[in-house]
Structure 1
């Protein structure tokens, strides 16, 4: 591997590693300040990760996190901050659940229909922010935050008894979906079942990597995110790219709730998982918007979520994992900026050394010619 390649890899890995180390150190300081053992919680959580049932939970949770983070990453690569992933995936899951209870097709048709419904719903909801951004100049940060609130209210209205709601005890649901729409999983006996949608999540990551890194569209998207004016000068319609990116981001977000919906609960209810969109922001940042990096980050955050309940039984607060996640976000921002500055300095030093060598060579050349004469 060339020296430049080694340095580039080092710069890419340094940010996440520094962030994780800083988060662990700061969390240990918090534990010490509260009079707790700063090492035992980590050993307890790692012990949990050796149990097969916990491993299944981690993989299933990571599949949801991965899709949410990919949705956020699409916006990040376009220099857009889609904070509306949370509302987009919840609304998409609710609409998909309603459609899944209303129609009954063979599984070969039912499941693709549900996937399309989820994607279109998420894309439509994020497309609203895209239209506001491109036609009125409304910040996507503001519009997507507002759309999250609207989505929550819309879901509450749609799930009342007079609309699509089906009360089950104290829970308000959309009813159980037709079995032809249940996504088959991989049974592992007492360990539980791995969602079959895990493979769809992996496929989405591959598509993300190919489209953004190996196609003209991906290049135009990244170029527009780096500089709209430069992209426009090269013939790229910046507004169209902004709208398209928001729609794609929302479409991917629409899939984030399906691992649980199609693989486990088969209904949308008040207890449906929330907050995936905001966790996706953390994961996308930690993974540096790279498909592989996001996968590792999703597994890490899922590990913290599923291993932390064991802390309660040992006298520790499971919120330690939440503290660590928050510290990771802060540490990621700080470490990436530090690494970026260090990388710029290294480039400046390298360019300076190359210029000095070139000047020295040009100066020595006339002297050698004179000596030869």
Structure 2
């Protein structure tokens, strides 16, 4: 029977719980300071989440955040901070939409081509940061931030009508053209609630694959070992530079998939209305979920709830920005809480080692006395 380390279990759960509780308390204090009822907005969001259409929106957005957060988590497990998930996600969505609208293939093959293009685009864009880090020592934080800025300008240029964009008649919007129906990914019809994206279930399946690869394969062991100590991993025969590039490619590939649920399930085109900020939210989701696929799922569900269930706040006289305040406070709470828990865990581990050493010394002394 496997022995459960209670201290490890408590410390693992303490970070997210402390972050959520402290963020709730801080949000209440902020609302009180502005003269607003701190409980009513939360009640309104919970009531709003009772409607079937809002529930579908929450589930769909959870899948999008989950894919992006898995991309972030791969980097974190490698001790890489891939801030460029936002740029990788947007560029991949646009390029795959362009290719999807330009080709005419049988259904499954059409979808496969769009998905592969998205993976390749995200991976290549993230790979630039990996190559810069391994060949020039450029921090992935700096390079991915710059790549995000380049993505914004590149997407704006590509979507111009004189390049690859299409402007629908009588509209100010710009799109990449409509993907034929053969490139649509089927979903689950929820009646009046709308449709759950079929790719949401692909996202969940990838969470299982992520867990298996990280915890049950040699590659996952090498990735975690390199993240813990690059020099130690090299001493054991792991090519650290190769692992960095590989991790960035996988991270970018998963980020590229984050746009597929909405692209293949609803919009069938990339336009100016395509969701933005997904990659930045995914960083917090991965942190709150402690890079574990189950934790990330619940964190993605929480942020999807905050995003989609807040639509009625402005109607009730509350600023919708309350949810942005809550998300921002969660970010701060996650960082502070996890650092406090880490320090407590270190002290607890040192204490346990001291107790074991003291117990060993006592046993030795008793034996010496009896001798």
TM-score if structure 2 supplies the norm length? 0.97
Alignment match of 1:327 (pick from 317, 326, 329): 329
- The offset of 1:162, in angstroms, is 2.2
Q: Are 2:87 and 1:87 aligned?
A: yes
Q: In the aligned structure 1, how far is the partner of 2:279 from the partner of 2:259?
A: 10
Q: In the aligned structure 1, how far is the partner of 2:322 from the partner of 2:91?
A: 31
Q: Are 2:189 and 1:187 aligned?
A: yes
Alignment match of 2:172 (pick from 153, 170, 173): 170
Q: Which residue pairs with 1:146 in the alignment?
A: 146
Q: Which residue pairs with 1:15 in the alignment?
A: 15
Q: Which residue pairs with 1:44 in the alignment?
A: 44
**In structure 1, the residue corresponding to 2:328 is in which secondary structure?**
helix
Deviating more after overlay: 109-118 vs 310-319: 310-319
Q: Which residue pairs with 1:125 in the alignment?
A: 125
Q: Which residue pairs with 1:269 in the alignment?
A: 271
Deviating more after overlay: 248-257 vs 150-159: 150-159
Q: In the aligned structure 1, how far is the partner of 2:31 from the partner of 2:160?
A: 45
Change (3 A) 1:236 1:2: closer
Q: In the aligned structure 2, how far is the partner of 1:320 from the partner of 1:3?
A: 44
**In structure 1, the residue corresponding to 2:167 is in which secondary structure?**
strand
Q: In the aligned structure 2, how far is the partner of 1:174 from the partner of 1:108?
A: 21
Q: Which residue pairs with 1:69 in the alignment?
A: 69
Deviations 1:322-368 (A, max 9, x none): 11110111011111111111111111111111111111111111322
Q: Which residue pairs with 1:214 in the alignment?
A: 216
- Please give the residue correspondences for 1:100-119 in structure 2 after superposition, counting only pairs within 5 Å: 100-119=100-119
**In structure 1, the residue corresponding to 2:5 is in which secondary structure?**
helix
Q: Are 2:240 and 1:226 aligned?
A: no
**In structure 1, the residue corresponding to 2:332 is in which secondary structure?**
helix
Q: Which residue pairs with 2:241 in the alignment?
A: 239
- The offset of 1:274, in angstroms, is 0.7
Q: Which residue pairs with 1:156 in the alignment?
A: 156
**In structure 2, the residue corresponding to 1:166 is in which secondary structure?**
coil
Q: In the aligned structure 2, how far is the partner of 1:311 from the partner of 1:154?
A: 35
Q: Which residue pairs with 1:303 in the alignment?
A: 305
- The offset of 1:196, in angstroms, is 0.3
- The offset of 1:215, in angstroms, is 0.5
- The offset of 1:201, in angstroms, is 0.5
Alignment match of 2:257 (pick from 252, 255, 258): 255
Aligned residues: 369
Instruction: Give the RMSD, CA atoms, in angstroms.
Output: 1.2
**In structure 1, the residue corresponding to 2:160 is in which secondary structure?**
coil
- The offset of 1:220, in angstroms, is 0.5
Q: Are 2:62 and 1:58 aligned?
A: no
Which residues of structure 2 form unaligned runs of 5+? none
Q: In the aligned structure 1, how far is the partner of 2:153 from the partner of 2:323?
A: 30
Deviating more after overlay: 264-273 vs 40-49: 40-49
Moved over 3 A (4+): 1-4
Deviating more after overlay: 79-88 vs 310-319: 310-319
- The offset of 1:4, in angstroms, is 5.2
Q: In the aligned structure 2, how far is the partner of 1:163 from the partner of 1:132?
A: 29
- The offset of 1:2, in angstroms, is 7.3
